[in-house]
Amino acid sequence: MAKTKMKDKLTIGLAQIAPVWLDRDQTMTRILEQVRKAAGADCQLVAFGEALLPGYPFWIERTNGATFNSPVQKELHAHYLDQAVQIEAGHLDNLCEAAKEHQIAIVLGCIERPADRGGHSVYASLVYIDVEGVIQSVHRKLMPTYEERLTWSPGDGHGLRVHKLGAFTVGGLNCWENWMPLPRAALYGLGEDLHIAIWPGGVHNTRDITRFIAIESRSYVVSVSGLMRKSDFPADTPHLTAILENSNDLFANGGSCIAGPDGKWIVEPIADEEKLIIATLDHKRVREERQNFDPAGHYSRPDVTQLTVNRERQSTVNFTE
């Protein structure tokens, strides 16, 4: 019985931090520091916010981002691409090595510039790295939200996957796609019982939906958010004056939190501070709450409603040799 109880437990870390905005290398240094800190606290998983590496596109709504053929937008877009993550180029190798060294799984929100889509468009991607340092999935955000569509491309279903970690089955979604019922249902159908929702930062985003998904899924739901302050913008950022003028000191205020499978708070939303939030989850609570409701199991009717998911990685060209 004691061994079963131990196997049910999972200690996780939520790294609520800010990037060094649009500086991939310096932001990675911050991320690696949090990985080491989480490992030192015996965490088996550490998660980071949406688009943290190298940063969220805060410039769009502050610099007339919808202006067509704007030299300002072109320069900022080129800078964004320069600092984005190309997995094929090894930009996450140090993080994979840290995961293996510390035997810790990592969920990272990054701006991906994938070679399989030509290498000049970017996607808000959720990357899962296992405890052996292997990238097991890259989920590209299905639908960028509002002004994000002016810089991010729509993703596909290839990354709608889950991963075993101890007693838990871990899945995740980016920001507002957590509001999309069908992607959530896809993860439920795969057995997800620990849902990682990643956000750029904002208590207004996480306060309601974290508990809602937990109640709907009878799973643990972790919302991990970033922070963004004026001091996190490097002095050499293109058009920095235009971005910062008429802006508050805080662009993103965090809001990381954890809800249990009964929808009750384990950690209420934490705002306005950089912090590694640590909690230990007990899988037994999932099994208890699934007794009266299991959305993909005994409380489903697949003979009446079913979901079809296309997980093919999309491309504009297929080659036949």
> Per the structure block, which two tokens stand in for 7?
């196997």
| Burial (CB count <10 Å: 0-12, 13-18, 19+), residue 294 | middle
Q: Which residues are catalytic?
A: 50, 141, 175
Give phi and psi for 95, each to the nearest 5: -70, -40
Q: How far apart are CA 258 and CA 252, in angstroms?
A: 18
**N- to C-terminal Cα distance for the chain?**
57
* Residue 12: strand pairing partners: 45, 279
> Per the structure block, which two tokens stand in for 263?
């929808």
The 8-class DSSP code of residue 186 comes to: H
**Residue keyed to tokens 């080491």:** 36
Q: How far apart are CA 230 and CA 251, in angstroms?
A: 8
Q: How many CB atoms lie within 10 A of CB 312?
A: 9
> Per the structure block, which two tokens stand in for 269?
């939303």
CB 192 within 8 A of CB 167: no
